[in-house]
Each structure stands twice: as structure tokens, then as C-alpha cells.
Amino acid sequence: MERTLVFDLDGTLVDSVYQHVLAWHGALQRAGIGVSVWRIHRRIGMSGGLFVERLLRETDTEPRPGLADSLRDAHAEIYNELDASVTPLPGARALLQELTDRGVPWAIATSGALRTAGPVLERLGVPEGVPVVTRDQVPYAKPNPDLFLRAMEKLRIDPRHGVVVGDSVWDLLAARQAGMLGVGVLSGGYGEDELNRAGAYRVYEDPEDLRLHLDELCVGRGT
Amino acid sequence: MERTLVFDLDGTLVDSVYQHVLAWHGALQRAGIGVSVWRIHRRIGMSGGLFVERLLRETDTEPRPGLADSLRDAHAEIYNELDASVTPLPGARALLQELTDRGVPWAIATSGALRTAGPVLERLGVPEGVPVVTRDQVPYAKPNPDLFLRAMEKLRIDPRHGVVVGDSVWDLLAARQAGMLGVGVLSGGYGEDELNRAGAYRVYEDPEDLRLHLDELCVGRGT
């Protein structure tokens, strides 16, 4: 069975998780909602809608009309100020190039919106023709499987042949729901055990470490 | 045996770890040194000297005269810009107050320097007379036991009666070397398993969760 890879973006290919975390923290502080930073970190990567809903519930904040939208706007504004410090993770570009060279199809599927994901996709040098699915394109984000299933549709490959690579438990839960294999990376700042418990088949440090172990994922076999 | 508590500061009593992480990341970027943010997160809490040394070694950066000092200065400068967003962690003030009310002696021991720790100590409302040990006061920081041993000296209590409360594996390793019990909190953003493997006797979510379980630590027994 020849496999294909679907990558999460933030924390998996680009080093942007901590900037997103502090941008959400700033947006919540502006709205007068106090949430500990580590709790935001543990929600990052799930759908923005679910994320906001859950934090409001945890902090006993009454949902106000327009609150979710204004939080998302403030997050995008603060994140864009921090964006200059965001770079591809070590080995990310080389990994994607190696997959392309080996003839292994791959795609990107992110819970992020196009307005924040756009600049980092450019920095990553994603070639023309590679499917990129953003939050804007599906009704439900992770841990729902929609993003990954849409990516497999665009690749025209059966999900059972797909491997999800992600840094968060939401990627791994969404992978399981999509019937795909899940592989974790530590570069989003979660503990190895959290990823294992969420069903990671293997956990690597970052894209460079994954690239050195590609054969464990049965991709590009026989080339 | 009546116990006493020695607290780490960043990530344990105040919600400042992610700001410190991004400040170190910015300082390293200014010096032209690229290190993934999660790797910085995993080093936070160890001595600044060890931390810089280790990152330079990991990134194959030639140590230049004055580099460590200029990194520390840039870190302090960037951190102070982010400092306005730093607040006490949930339950931190109530926990310290409850210990004081129960007559349980406590202290704070941080790998941070006084120039960055000063403002958050104020926000925490640490009463006069509580021993506070900063990096400036001991020759070696965590994972060396010096900070915790100095705190116990100031409290005039045998280290074997002391419980270290910290968010990072360096706190727990330093606790073991000091012959003290180590208790972890998740509020610094590390995984529970990482803290358990480093020898945590118990792991709580944050100071509020610890406060609700104080009796598990045998403090203030009989009062």
C-alpha cells in the first residue's frame, strides 16, 4: 500500500504555535476574559469556533453577540504583528521537497483561516498544484475529520492510504475519525505522551526528524 | 512531619512562561541564531547560563565573547515589553494567603533574575518577610539544588521537610538533588507525563487546583 501525507500547518511545518497562543491570549484579555496561557495552548489546533465556545464555557463567560467574531479579528491583528518572527520548522522545506522528488503526493490541511495562513504558506514554498485546505473551506474543523477528508478528496486518494502529520491531539483525533493513520511531532510544544495517548502511530521531534525516518511510514516504497 | 512549601515563580505562580519563551526566541533571532520555539520552552526554568550554553551547542553556534550577556539583555528588553500581559495564575494569591493563614512557612525560589522577576513579585502581593531567592543570589541555578537549599536555609527548616512546587522538569530534578519532595503544576505548559517522569510526587493543574488538594501534601496538619 502506497501512502500519502497530509500535513497540519502551525506547529507541524511552521514554527507559529506560541505566537498564535499569545495572540489568542491578547485577544481574550482585550475582551476582559482571563484564561491561563497553557489552557489556550492545549486548545490550539481545534476549530476556532469550538475553541472560543469552550473557553467561554470554562471561564463562565456569557456569550455575547459578535464576541466570537471580535475575538477572531483581534487574534488575527495581534498574530500578524508577531508574524515576522515565524519561520518554517527545521527540515520542513527539505521534507516537502523530498516527498515531491519521491513522487509521493501530499497536501496541507489547517484549522487556521486563509488570512493568517497565507503568509506562512508562501514562506514554506508550497509548489503549485499541492492541495491546501483551510478552515474557510469546510463546515467543521478539527477534531472533526472534514479538513483531512477534503484534502484526500482533492488528492483523489482513499483516506485509508493517508497519513496525517500533526503536532496536536486534535490532529490525531481527527485522523482517527477520518480513518487515517496519525503521526505526531513535538514541534508544537505538546508532550510526547499526550500525542501517544491520542493515538499517534509514531512521534518525531520535528519535520527534520520525520524526514530521516520516512521509511517507517511506508512512503515512496520501491523508488 | 510538618511541611513547608518552596515555589518556583514563572509558570507556577505567575502566567509568564510563554512570554519568556518568545522573548528568548526574539533575542536569539536578533543574534542570528535560529532555534525552534518548543525547544526553548523545554529549556525554560533551567539556569540562563546553562540554557544559553546548551542552545549554542545544539545549534552549532560558536560561542562569541559577550554573546551570553547580550542575549540576556535582549531577553530582558523583549520580555519587559510583553510583561503587561502577565498576571498571577488562578488561585496563586489565594493559595499563598491560605498558607500564611494556616501558619505554614513558604518561600519563592526562581531561576529568573531580579530585573524580570521584580514586577511579577509585586503583582503577586508577596508579604514582607517571605524569603525570595533569585538567580542573582546563588552560584548555580536549576537543575542544581542551590536555589531551593538557599530558600530552606532562609526558612531555617531542614530540606527534608520541604516540598518544591514547580512547572518544569528542572524544578523537579533540583528538588530531588536537594532531598526535597517535588510537586508539579501543568500551568507552565509541560505535559503531565514529563513531570511524572522527572519525579513529581503529585501533579496539579495550577495553583487553584493545588490549593484544593493541600491536604495531600501534609501541610498545616492539625491546624
Residue type, A73: D
pLDDT of residue B140: 87
Contact status, residue A150 vs residue A132, Cβ threshold 8 Å:
no
> What is residue B134's three-state secondary structure?
coil
Q: How many CB pairs under 8 A join A and B?
A: 79
Instruction: Give residue ranges of B with CB < 8 Å to any A CB.
Output: 11, 15, 17-19, 21-22, 25-26, 29, 34, 36-38, 41, 82, 85, 87, 89-90, 186-194, 206
Contact status, residue B92 vs residue B115, Cβ threshold 8 Å:
no
Contacts of B25 in chain A (CB under 8 A): 18, 85
Instruction: Give residue ranges of A with CB < 8 Å to any B CB.
Output: 11, 15, 17-19, 21-22, 25-26, 29, 34, 36-38, 41, 82, 85, 87, 89-90, 186-194, 206
The C-alpha of A128 sits at a distance from chain B's nearest C-alpha, in angstroms, of: 27
Of A76, A79, A71, nearest to A19 by C-alpha is: A79
> What is residue B169's three-state secondary structure?
helix
Distances (CA, A) of B167 to B81, B155, B200, B216: 23, 22, 10, 18
Q: Which residue of A has its CA nearest to B40?
A: A189
Instruction: Render pLDDT for B13-43 as a digit per residue (tens, 0 to 9).
Output: 999 999 999 999 999 999 999 999 999 998 8
Instruction: Render pLDDT for B113-172 as a digit per residue (tens, 0 to 9).
Output: 887 788 888 889 898 889 999 988 999 888 899 999 999 999 999 999 999 999 999 999
Q: Do A22 and B22 touch (CB under 8 A)?
A: yes
pLDDT along chain A (223 residues), means of 10: 90 95 94 92 76 79 84 91 93 96 94 82 89 91 93 96 96 96 96 93 97 87 50
Angle (CA) A171-A46-A36 rounded to 5° is 120
B36 closest CB neighbour out of A37, A85, A187: A187
Residue type, B6: V
Q: Do B186 and A87 touch (CB under 8 A)?
A: no
pLDDT of residue A49: 65
Give the Cα separation of B98 and B214 in Å (integer): 10
Q: Which residues of A148-161 are buried (b: 16+ CB within 10 A; e: fewer)?
A: bbbbbebbebebeb
The pairing of strands A106-109 and A132-133 is parallel
Of A77, A74, A64, A79, nearest to A29 by C-alpha is: A74
Contacts of B190 in chain A (CB under 8 A): 191
The C-alpha of A62 sits at a distance from chain B's nearest C-alpha, in angstroms, of: 19
pLDDT of residue A1: 62
The phi, psi pair for A184, rounded to 5°, reads -105, 155
Q: pTM (2 decimals)?
A: 0.92
Distances (CA, A) of B70 to A85, B50, B86, B114, B139: 19, 15, 24, 17, 20
| Mean pLDDT (whole number) for B50-70 | 81
